[in-house]
Amino acid sequence: CTRRAWMPPSRCPPLRDTPSASPALWRALPCPAAELRLDLVLPSGQTFRWRESSPGSWTGVLGGSVWTLRQERDRLWYTVYGGEAGADTDRCLREFFQLDVGLRELYRAWGAADPLFREAAKDFPGVRVLRQDPVECLLSFICTSNNHISRITAMIERLCQAFGRPLCHLGAQPFHAFPSLAALTGADAEAQLRALGFGYRARFISGTARAITEGLSVEGLHQLRTVPYAEARRVLCTLPGVGTKVADCVCLMALDKAEAVPVDTHVWRIARQRYGMDAPSAHPLSTGDFFRGLWGPRAGWAQAVSTQPRAPQGSALTPQLTPSLPTPGPLLR
């Protein structure tokens, strides 16, 4: 995604809620609800930078720009503040939501293999996995240890406001880019993070930022997209504050490892209660292998649907109570 320049407050635009208000500033991609439900994906705990700015409209930061998204009549509408929408922004959005992956076909395959999935899928259409920037995804998920979505979202907002480049204001709401690694490796970065309420995670965030800058490199992190899942997971687990669950989240949501199945207490409980993994020999670390055997090479995507708590289709989901991916929990860091 092309990074855009910051607009000073005097040039801040108003929030654009719907395409009908300023049709020339909006652009649309074909996208039926069966392929994507913004209300199920964006507040699910995959990303922490989007909020429902008005009913049915979602505003957040992607690729160094501020966007508002909305779904109407099998179209994914979007507007980008501070720049023109076109082929590049289409591509950026398609990559972020991985719209080239046909979700309905996958739902049918998973349903044929798993009656429990088939039942869950009736209430949760359009749940797909995002493809995020690896650095942002990694540092964000380090914040998820022993935490919940609303608090993580507030922490990431404080992180971006304190260390990130300002982008624009929409009304009174400021938006910032995700911090650069240079900003997070400064001499006082850890102390600043502690002052912002990050606690023990402050050391892990600054330590991982430094480990990438001085060792793995940003290019090396991106290149993990091309290596086997087990190798990518192994490399991630060498970084400060990264255990198996965080590594699997990053593998799934940033490194193109669709087979990664993050396991926490919520997923382990579902595996035991719904899928019978309650034998004495069963172990949380074997859960991923079990689901990969059941759902196949995109097991991580299937998990995003099957581990949803039961709720009526179309209901408003409260993110901290009904995440579509594993809630941050103490079982596996």
From the CA atom positions of the chain, what is the Rg in Å? 20
Summarize pLDDT for 136-146 with one digit per residue, the tens. Answer: 999 999 999 88
- β-bridge mates for residue 252, sequence order: none
Average confidence score pLDDT of the chain: 88
Q: Which amino acid is residue 267, in one-letter code?
A: V
pLDDT for 308 equals 63
Catalytic residue among 128, 131, 176, 245: 245
Residue 244's nearest CA partner among 226, 228, 258, 232 is: 232
pLDDT for 3 equals 57
- Cα 214 to Cα 156: distance, rounded to the nearest angstrom: 24
Q: CA distances (Å), 76 to each of 68, 92, 94, 125, 319, in order? A: 11, 13, 10, 15, 22
Share above pLDDT 70 across residues of the chain, in percent, rounded to a whole number: 86
φ and ψ at residue 16, rounded to 5 degrees = -100, 110
What is the total residue count of the chain? 333
- Cα 139 to Cα 193: distance, rounded to the nearest angstrom: 13
Look at residue 291 and tell me whether its pLDDT is greater than 80. yes
φ and ψ at residue 78, rounded to 5 degrees = -150, 155
- 257 catalytic? Reply is no
Q: What is the largest CA-CA distance in the chain?
A: 64
Look at residue 222 and tell me whether its pLDDT is greater than 90. yes
Domains located in the chain, CATH noted: 1-7+21-98 (3.30.310.40), 134-254 (1.10.340.30)
pTM for this model (two decimals): 0.89
Contact assessment for residue 325 and residue 262, using Cβ atoms and an 8 Å cutoff: yes
What is the full DSSP assignment across 236-305? HTTSTT--HHHHHHHHHHHS--TT-----HHHHHHHHHHH---STT--GGGHHHHHHHHH-TTHHHHHHH
Summarize pLDDT for 152-183 with one digit per residue, the tens. Answer: 999 999 999 999 999 999 988 999 999 999 99
Look at residue 315 and tell me whether its pLDDT is greater than 50. no
Summarize pLDDT for 239-266 with one digit per residue, the tens. Answer: 999 999 999 999 999 999 999 999 988 8
Look at residue 112 and tell me whether its pLDDT is greater than 50. yes
Span 272-286, mean pLDDT? 75
Summarize pLDDT for 59-104 with one digit per residue, the tens. Answer: 999 999 999 999 998 999 999 998 788 999 999 999 999 999 999 9
Lowest-confidence segment of 47-61, 119-133, 264-278 by average pLDDT: 264-278
> Which residues, 6+ apart, have CB-to-CB distance to 122 below 8 Å?
313
Burial class of residue 121, CB neighbours in 10 A (0-12, 13-18, 19+) = buried
pLDDT for 69 equals 98
Look at residue 10 and tell me whether its pLDDT is greater than 90. no
Summarize pLDDT for 14-25 with one digit per residue, the tens. Answer: 899 899 888 999
Look at residue 8 and tell me whether its pLDDT is greater than 70. no
| Cβ atoms within 10 Å, residue 312 | 6
> Which residues, 6+ apart, have CB-to-CB distance to 322 below 8 Å?
308, 309, 311
pLDDT for 172 equals 86
Look at residue 280 and tell me whether its pLDDT is greater than 70. no
Burial class of residue 308, CB neighbours in 10 A (0-12, 13-18, 19+) = buried
For residue 11, give the DSSP letter. G
pLDDT for 306 equals 84
Q: Between 126 and 271, name the one with better pLDDT.
A: 126
